[in-house]
Amino acid sequence: MTNSRMRHVYGWLLLTPAAILLIGFTHYPTVATLIDSFFSTGTAIRPSRFVGLDNYQLMVDDPIFWKVLGNNLWFALGTIPTSIALAIVMALWVNRRLPGRALVRMAYFTPTVLPMIAVANIWLFFYTPDIGLIDQIAALFGLPGHNWLGDPNTVLGAIIVMTIWKEAGFFMIFYLAALQNLPPELEEAAKLEGAGRWTYFRRVTFPLLMPITLFVLINAVLNSFKLVDHLFILTKGGPDNASNLLLYYIYISAFSFFDSAYAATLTMVLLVLLAVLAIAQFVILDKRIHYR
């Protein structure tokens, strides 16, 4: 490269436009969130003032916060293992000889390209009590109708099922890519050894897919925190916060209750969770390199 001092100048010049935007909309707001979480929400008559940890105290005492955090945990536990398992099964099926393979793969992947809002619109009708599709089918078997989204006991489950449907096909393609890169000799060798398909999967395929599983896992956890679009259509977090998730609660706090200080405090929790996730990913990716 030209002379060494110009390298620094060119490097920074090329980076500057992106850096300004990244700092403006990622780094600055992260720091501002931290600062705002120590201040009260300003109003026209009462300007914002330093309140120390008051917002955090408020949060710890807020039963909705704990409810929402618990929901997020159940939502993650409900969606992630099932969608990963389904994704592996789908990938295995689509990877072998199968009549109409392209069509099947397309069917699995299609939910991924649909917006969550559209998906929620369609599923809303499935879950509608009595006249919805699920209750209609249940009625054929003489089962009573049920208000799936109106009952605190079933609402989170209903959302989990929909999310699994939306995500499994997306995770499938990562497994598919990995399966296609496995050397075919492995399977031949296993066959010669007389290993059954299940043994082969358990002892060979699954361990080899481990880096992908970890990658997908991180992404799935991330999505479980970031994906709240469907709540706007299906439940608005209700009934009685039974389906409320952290990011939705942040939205409500900021834009319905206009309590931006509390929203900032909640955002800090989300940021800390993401930081933990980032560190986990860093450690895992570090390990992943050894596989290569």
Partner 1 sequence: MNGRGFTWWLETVAAWVLAVLWLSPLLYAFWAAFHPPEFAIRFVPTAPLSLANFAAAWEQAPFARYYLNTFILVTMLLAAQFVLCTLAAYAFARFDFWGREVAFALVLVQLMVTPEILIVENYTTMSRLGLVDTITGIALPYMASAFGIFLLRQAFKSTPKELEEAARVEGCGLIGVLLRVYVPLAKPTYLAYGLVSVSHHWNNFLWPLVITNSVTTRPLTVGLAIFGAPESGVDWSIISAATLMAVAPLLLAFLLFQRQFVQSFMHAGIK
Site for partner 1 in 80-109 (CB under 8 A): 90, 93-94, 96-100, 102-109
Member of 28, 66, 206, 257 binding partner 1 (CB under 8 A): 28
By the 10 Å C-beta count (0-12 exposed, 13-18 middle, 19+ buried), 63 is classed as: exposed
Q: C-beta of 154: minimal distance to partner 1 in Å?
A: 18
How many residues sit close enough to partner 1 to count as binding (CB under 8 A)? 91
232 binds partner 1 (CB under 8 A): yes
Residues 188-217 that bind partner 1 (CB under 8 A): 197, 215
Query: Rounded CA gap, 78 and 85, in Å?
Result: 12
| Site for partner 1 contains 140 (CB under 8 A) | no
Q: From residue 119 to residue 138, what is the string marking binding to partner 1 with x (rule CB under 8 A)?
A: x-xxxxxx----x-x--x--
Alpha-carbon distance of 237 to 15, in angstroms, equals 41
CA angle 81, 86, 89 (to 5 degrees): 130
Residue 233 binds partner 1, judged by CB under 8 A: yes
Q: Which is closer to partner 1, CB of 26 or CB of 43?
A: 26
Inter-residue contact 83 to 171 (CB < 8 Å): yes
Task: Provide the minimum distance between the beta carbon of 177 and partner 1 in the complex, in angstroms, as a whole number.
Answer: 4
State the nearest-atom distance from the C-beta of 202 to partner 1, in Å. Answer: 16
Q: Which is nearer to partner 1, 177 or 189 (CB)?
A: 177
DSSP H helices, 23-154, are: 28-36, 54-60, 63-95, 101-113, 116-127, 133-140
Query: Residues 238-277: x/- map of binding to partner 1 (CB under 8 A)?
Result: ---------x--xx--xx----x--xx--x--xx--xx-x
Query: In the range 53-82, which residues lie near partner 1 by CB under 8 A?
Result: none
143 binds partner 1 (CB under 8 A): no
Q: Is 38 in the site for partner 1 (CB under 8 A)?
A: no
As a whole number of angstroms, the distance between CA 215 and CA 174 comes to 9
CA distance 267 to 265: 5
Residue 67 neighbours by CB under 8 Å, 6+ apart: 241, 244
